[in-house]
Amino acid sequence: MTNTKEHILSLLEQVSDPEIPVLSILDLGIVRDIVCTSDKDVVITITPTYSGCPAMDAIAFDIKLKLIENGFENVNIIYSLSPAWTTDWMSEEGKKKLQSYGIAPPQNMSSRIEKLLFEEESHIKCPRCHSTNTKLLSQFGSTACKALYQCSNCKEPFDYFKCH
Amino acid sequence: MDSNQQISKSTNLQINQTLHLADTALILGQRNSDWCAHGPILEQDIAITNITLDLIGQARNFYQYAATLINNAENKNETEDSLAYLRNEREFKNFLICELPNGNWAQTILRQFLFSVYQELLFEKLIACNDQQLSAIAAKSIKETKYHVKWSSEWVIRLGDGTEESKTKMEQAIDEIWMYTGEFFIANDYDIIDVTSIKSKWLEKINEIFEEATLSVPENTFMQSGGKNGIHTEYLGFLLSEMQVLQRTYPGANW
């Protein structure tokens, strides 16, 4: 059975976030529990990133597909809201992948202090030229989980995966 | 409902509480979604539609929970979709402020600000309530709401303390919708938390931002109410007919 669990993890590693295909769902930290009741039956618990993230339904579908393709018969997906997902659950490997994909990875929640009005998270490193001389363009970017920044050094705009 | 299948009063209250939270998030989300591709500039268009996405996601979580409660109690087969698309106007329990037309950008911003400040305070209380699922949804959602509060607060200041025109528009927006905020704090039999207890904190925050925005909080104005009990403005029916038309015309359609 332990082999089965490791096998499932290796399969889940191949399921990626449809919005950010460079990240696997394990990198994102949204897989919370795996319970195999037999070689054919498995219950996977996942937690949403944002309440309205449209990727969740696609992810659940992709998990089922991947496991069924690999011999599982009953794949049950449970959505769990508590404890609420945080970007701190993202793997270090995932953060590196984001950076090289052109999205600045989230800072640690612990290093983040509650921002006052008109203040922004600073020292976000530009994923292209690595300068930290960057500024916020918009708190809301191309998806709910990202903010739009611009590098003041190389002038490129880029997405920042915001702390959550 | 069959008379011999009476659901307990407490379950009924729990269902109504959950539907009130769901309807409120959905209707405001539906209204805000009208801004998609019509925002004043691209970044703000994206901001308001991301806020919409958060609200609709919250509504889905509340509706899924309401459907579970109803199905367990009444042997029905409700889903998040049937609750959103197949209930009538009088069954909706959203606040009136959510169903009001968007008006101009100032009015949309002001509503989002007044509502998000309330929602953050409400979720803080809900996190501590004894309904585990409502607590979990609140804990999840409040992280999103904090962003909405920050964004809308900044806009209220930007417009209020902006040009003569933007200030005038904010003042007109206050005249238009302030009377719909009283309902936030009117207790109802299904309220799981004491909503009257968050009023002073809400007012404190509104005052703080208004002061910075050089705007004034109206005093002793008439307050409109009814939404929590299903008594709505004339706007909700039109909103629902547009939102529900597909499921009403082609029942069960999906893609």
Could you state, in order of their start, the residue ranges of all structural domains in chain B? 10-216+226-249
Q: What pLDDT sits at residue A111?
A: 63
Q: Is the pLDDT of residue A2 over 70?
A: no
Task: Please give the average per-residue pLDDT across B108-133, as a whole number.
Answer: 97
Per residue, the 3-state secondary structure of chain A, as one string, reads: CHHHHHHHHHHHCCCECCCCCCCEHHHHCCEEEEEECCCCEEEEEECCCCCCCCHHHHHHHHHHHHHHHCCCCEEEEEECCCCCCCHHHCCHHHHHHHHHHCEECCCCHHHCCCCCCCCCCCCCCCCCCCCCCEEEEECCCCCCCEEEEEECCCCCEEEEECCC
Rounded CA-CA distance A28/A89 in Å is: 7
* B57 contacts in chain A (CB < 8 Å): 48, 50-53
Q: How far apart are CA B107 and CA B177, in angstroms?
A: 8
* CA–CA gap between residue A14 and residue A31 (Å, rounded): 13
How far is residue B135's CA from residue B148's CA, in Å, rounded to a whole number?
A: 20
Q: Are A109 and A87 contacting, i.e. CB atoms less than 8 angstroms apart? A: yes
Answer yes or no: do B143 and A53 touch at CB < 8 A.
no
- What CATH fold (topology level) applies to the domain A2-85? GMP Synthetase; Chain A, domain 3 (3.30.300)
- The better pLDDT of the pair A4, B187 is held by B187
* Distance of alpha carbon A130 from the chain centroid: 22
Q: For chain A, which residues make up each domain, given as ranges? A: 2-85, 88-161
Residue with more model confidence, B4 or A19: A19
Q: Specify the range with the lowest mean pLDDT, choosing from A83-87, A143-147, B67-71.
A: A143-147
> Which tokens hold the place of B2?
């069959």
For residue A21, give both structure tokens: 């295909």
Q: What is the pLDDT of residues A29-56, one digit of tens each?
A: 999 999 998 889 999 999 999 988 888 9
Q: Contacts of residue A115 in chain B, CB cutoff 8 Å?
A: 150
Question: pLDDT grade, residue B189 (50/70/90)?
Answer: very high
Question: Counting every residue, how long is chain B?
Answer: 255
CB pairs under 8 A between A and B: 74
Q: How many CB atoms lie within 10 A of CB A119?
A: 12
Instruction: Work out the percent of chain A whose per-residue pLDDT is above 70.
Output: 95
List pLDDT tens digits, range A150-162: 999 999 999 999 8
From chain A, the residues in CB contact with B131 under 8 A are none
Average pLDDT for chain A: 91
Q: Give the phi and the psi of residue B184 in degrees, each rounded to 5.
A: -55, -35
Q: Residue for token digits 């809308």?
A: B152
Residue B56 is predicted with a pLDDT of 97
For residue B2, name the pLDDT band (cuts at 50, 70, 90): very low
- Which residues lie below 8 Å from residue B205, measured CB to CB, with a gap of 6+? B117
Q: What is the pLDDT of residue A112?
A: 62
Measured CA to CA, the distance from residue A90 to residue A103 in angstroms comes to: 14
Burial of A4 by CB count in 10 Å (0-12 exposed, 13-18 middle, 19+ buried)? middle
Out of A53, A82, A137, whose CB is closest to B139?
A: A82
Q: What is the mean pLDDT of residues B77-89?
A: 97
Q: Could A51 and B61 be called an inter-chain contact, meaning their C-beta atoms sit closer than 8 Å?
A: yes
CA–CA dist A142, B35 (Å, integer): 16
Task: Tell the residue number behind the tokens 């090289």, with chain if given.
Answer: A100
B47 touches chain A (CB under 8 A): yes
Q: Is the pLDDT score of B10 beyond 50?
A: yes
- Tokens 């806020």 found at: B51
- Cβ atoms of A123 and A82 within 8 Å: the answer is no
- Separation of alpha carbons B75 and B70, rounded Å: 8
**CATH topology for B10-216+226-249?**
Ferritin (1.20.1260)
> pLDDT at residue B5 above 60?
no
A21 close contact with B: CB closer than 8 A: no
Q: Is the pLDDT of residue B1 over 60?
A: no
Confidence category of residue B4, pLDDT binned at 50, 70, 90: very low
- pLDDT band, very low/low/confident/very high, at A114 (cuts 50, 70, 90): low
CB contact under 8 A, B54 and A144: yes
Nearest by CB to residue A50, choosing from B57, B135, B137, is B57
Alpha-carbon distance B12 to nearest alpha carbon in chain A (angstroms)? 24
HEC string of chain B?
A: CCHHHCCCHHHHHHHHHHHHHHHHHHHHHHHHHCCCCCCCCHHHHHHHHHHHHHHHHHHHHHHHHHHHHHHHHHCCCCCHHHHHHCCCHHHCCCCHHHHCCCCCHHHHHHHHHHHHHHHHHHHHHHHCCCCHHHHHHHHHHHHHHHHHHHHHHHHHHHHHCCCHHHHHHHHHHHHHHHHHCHHHHCCCCCCCCCHHHHHHHHHHHHHHHHHHCCCCCCCCCCCCCCHHHCCCCCHHHHHHHHHHHHHHHCCCCCC
* Mean pLDDT score, A105-112: 79
- Average pLDDT of span A121-147: 90
Among B91, B93, B159, B151, which residue's Cα sits nearest to residue B117?
B151
**57-86 in chain A: CB under 8 A from chain B:** 81-85
Which residues 155-194 of B are in CB contact (within 8 Å) with A?
A: 157
Q: Model confidence over B153-185: pLDDT tens digits? A: 999 999 999 999 999 999 999 999 999 999 999
pLDDT computed for residue A113 by the predictor: 59
